[in-house]
Amino acid sequence: MTVSIALFTQDLRLHDNPVLHAAHTAADQVVPLFVLDPAVEGAGFAAPNRLAFLSDCLADLDASLRRAGSRLTVRRGATAEQTAKVAAEAGAGTVHVAAGVSAFAHRREERLREVFGDRLHVHDASLTVVPAGRITPAGRDHYAVFTPYHRAWRQAPHRGVLAAPRVIRTPDGIGSENLVFRGPLSPSLPHGGERAGRELRRRWDVDAYADVHDDLAADATSRLSPYLHFGCLSATELTAGALQRGGPGAEAFVRQLAWRDFHHQVLAARPDAAHRDYRTRDDRWHRDEREAEAWRQGRTGYPIIDAGMRQLAEEGWMHNRARLLTASFLTKSLYLDWRIGAAHFLSLLVDGDIAVNQLNWQWVAGTGTDTRPNRVLNPLRQADRYDPTGDYVRRWVPELAHLPGPSVHRPWLLDGDYPPPIVAPEDLTARFQHGRPVLGAGE
Ligand code: FAD
């Protein structure tokens, strides 16, 4: 009787799971294993909101495995050592795991390789649609610009979608721990897990996406990001489904999934970009903890910025357009270090992802892959454009709910009680301009 271990990481699903599929095909019995590694917490990946979501994911995965005749083994400790223990208990010959892109994932894989040697099988097409490093421009190890990456990504072969195994045999007597997590920080978190993710995908209308994805009040994006982050849903399966459906909405959605892959391949090649400028401009960031705190609290005096920050606190999630605006405001208008903002996002986002978060922050800050690093998003013009009715602001900033229509974006003209803007509207680009010679007028 041969036994293999399917070591789950950010692929907490049965459908289209190359790791589970390979472990299941390679041996008579499979031990589905998840290890909560304290180093994950040390690396800042684990925040209460994500741990709460993770705990739903693990419960759901266990329930699905039980329906297939198996169950999930959960352990806490260093991944390689815990996996070795389980392998010894189960008499497992091989270990299957997905390739990751972060410095932490690289270290984990190295350590697993030291322990298991060629009994370790790493599957690189689990996390992203096109594995990091699979497509490269001539003479470079990764793409630094999205448009050519996207072109190559569309032409690259995408692997076929794998069915969920119907029956999984698992050896008896492998003990599992009960993980107890602290409660979430945000009161309105989504429910985690593969079933919740598939249900959300089924109900969501991709056809309307192209027209409404930037409309803040419509809130009509997929909200699939936490399910993608934990791998409750496979990016490959979502892409294949959308391409099959076709149409502008599906095309626009697939483009966003390509952005996700893009940031992953950047981080895989440059793991230090999680903390250091990808392309430094030698910024001399302004320092002001009082301003940083006003931004975190959603009290900048700019209702569109404050609305985004309050949505983040309440839901552990923020609309993409609001992420762009709040990040631009912090890094370009207040000219505070992008790491301050990225750390705050990571402390709350239920989809908080080291590749996607840090590299989007760098993109907005102008230290990353944006080909127009000097663009400054003007929060007032952006509010008029992406929240023309003011409904998004009224939803998240209830003390301004009495202000009608778009007047809500400029409360200083109408309401003396709201905090005044921490940087004057005419100075929104001033700090960033200092030392930056050429600037557009702001968008
Ligand atoms: P949809 O619009 O429905 O898009 C579908 C999927 O495509 C998303 O679920 C996501 O996986 C991917 N995607 C969408 N936009 C992007 C993007 N710009 N870059 C990479 N992938 C994208 N996304 C995260 O998943 N985790 C993060 O930690 C994160 N931090 C961000 C920080 C900043 C400063 C910015 C500007 C963006 C960040 N994003 C992050 C990207 C984006 O805002 C979210 O993925 C999106 O808002 C999630 O909502 P959705 O699932 O409804 O997205």
**319 pLDDT band (50/70/90 cuts)?**
very high
Question: 433: Cβ below 6 Å to ligand 1?
Answer: no
| Dist CA 87 CA 93 (whole Å) | 7
437: pLDDT confidence band, cut at 50, 70 and 90? very low
- The total number of residues written for the chain in this structure: 443
Q: 360, 347, 351: which is closest to 273 by C-alpha?
A: 360
Q: Look at residue 439 in the predicted model and tell me its pLDDT.
A: 42
Q: Cα torsion at 348, 352, 354, 357 (round to 10°)?
A: -90
ipTM surpassing 0.95: yes
pLDDT higher than threshold 70 for residue 443: no
Q: Say if residue 438's pLDDT is above 50.
A: no
Give yes or no for residue 224 CB within 6 A of ligand 1: yes
| pLDDT over 90 (residue 368) | yes
Provide mean pLDDT across the span 186-213.
Answer: 96
Residue nearest to atom 42 of ligand 1 (CA): 320
Position 179 pLDDT exceeds 90? no
Q: Is the CB of 352 under 6 A from ligand 1?
A: yes
CB 6 within 8 A of CB 32: yes
By DSSP bridging, strand 3-8 and strand 29-36 are: parallel
User: 55 in ligand 1 pocket by Cβ < 6 Å?
Assistant: no
For ligand 1, say whether the CB of 21 is within 6 Å of any of its atoms.
Answer: no
Residue 440 has pLDDT above 50, yes or no: no
Separation of alpha carbons 219 and 391, rounded Å: 11
The mean pLDDT of 429-443, rounded to a whole number, is 62
Do residues 195 and 56 make contact, with C-beta atoms less than 8 angstroms apart?
Answer: no
Question: Is the distance from the beta carbon of residue 357 to the nearest atom of ligand 1 less than 6 Å?
Answer: yes
State the pLDDT at residue 403. 95
Q: pLDDT-based confidence at 80, cuts 50/70/90?
A: very high
Is the CB–ligand 1 distance for residue 323 below 6 Å? yes
Q: Nearest to residue 128, comparing CAs of 261, 291, 233, 304?
A: 261
- Is the distance from the beta carbon of residue 15 to the nearest atom of ligand 1 less than 6 Å? no
Binding site membership of 369 for ligand 1 (Cβ less than 6 Å): no
C-beta of residue 101 within 8 angstroms of C-beta of residue 109: no
Query: Which pLDDT value is given to residue 74?
Result: 97
Nearest atom in ligand 1 to 256's CA: 7
Rounded to whole angstroms, how far apart are CA atoms 441 and 443? Answer: 7
pLDDT tens, position by position, 19-60: 999 999 999 999 999 999 988 766 566 799 999 999 999 999
Got the DSSP string for 240-283? HHHHHH-SHHHHHHHHHHHHHHHHHHHHHH-GGGGTS-SS----
300, two tokens: 């900048």
Dihedral sign (CA 103, 101, 337, 301): negative
Which of 256, 259, 295, 326 to mutate for ligand 1's pocket (most ligand atoms within 8 Å of CB)?
256
pLDDT tens by residue, 93-136: 999 999 999 999 999 999 999 999 999 999 998 999 999 999 99
User: pLDDT at residue 442 above 50?
Assistant: no
Burial (0-12, 13-18, 19+ Cβ within 10 Å), 289: exposed
Mutate to test the pocket of ligand 1, among 225, 309, 346 (most ligand atoms within 8 A of CB): 225
Cβ of 377 less than 6 Å from ligand 1: no
| 221 carries a ligand binding annotation | yes
Taking each helix axis from N to C end, the angle separating 320-328 and 354-365, rounded to the nearest 10 degrees, works out to: 50
> What CA–CA distance (Å, rounded) separates 115 from 234?
29
Question: Is residue 278 within 8 Å of residue 270, measured between CB atoms?
Answer: yes
* Predicted confidence (pLDDT) at residue 217 exceeds the cutoff of 70: yes
Angle CA(339)–CA(323)–CA(135) in degrees, nearest 5? 75
DSSP string, 29-49: EEEEEEEE-HHHHHTT---HH
Percent of the chain with pLDDT over 90: 90
Whether pLDDT at 61 is above 90: yes
b/e map 354-370, b = 16+ CB within 10 Å: bbbbbbbbbbbbbbbbb
Distance CA 14, CA 232 (A): 8
Q: Is the pLDDT of residue 13 over 70?
A: yes
Q: What angle do CA 297, 301, 307 make, to 5 degrees?
A: 55
73 beta partners: 33
Backbone angles phi, psi at 312, to 5 degrees: -60, -45
Residue in the structure block whose two tokens are 């966003």 = 256
Query: 97 CB contacts (<8 Å, ≥6 apart)?
Result: 7, 9, 19, 109, 112, 120, 121, 122, 123
Nearest to 258 by CA among 239, 242, 241, 245: 239
Q: What angle do CA 113, 114, 118 make, to 5 degrees?
A: 45
Residue 353 annotated in ligand binding: yes
Ligand-binding annotation for 154, yes or no, is no
Among 260, 264, 311, 340, residue to substitute to test ligand 1 (most atoms within 8 Å of Cβ) = 260
All domains in the chain, ordered by first residue: 1-127 (3.40.50.620), 128-160+192-269 (1.25.40.80), 289-435 (1.10.579.10)
> What number does the ligand 1 atom closest to the CA of 227 have?
9
> Which residue type occupies 13?
R
Amino acid identity for residue 274 in this structure: A
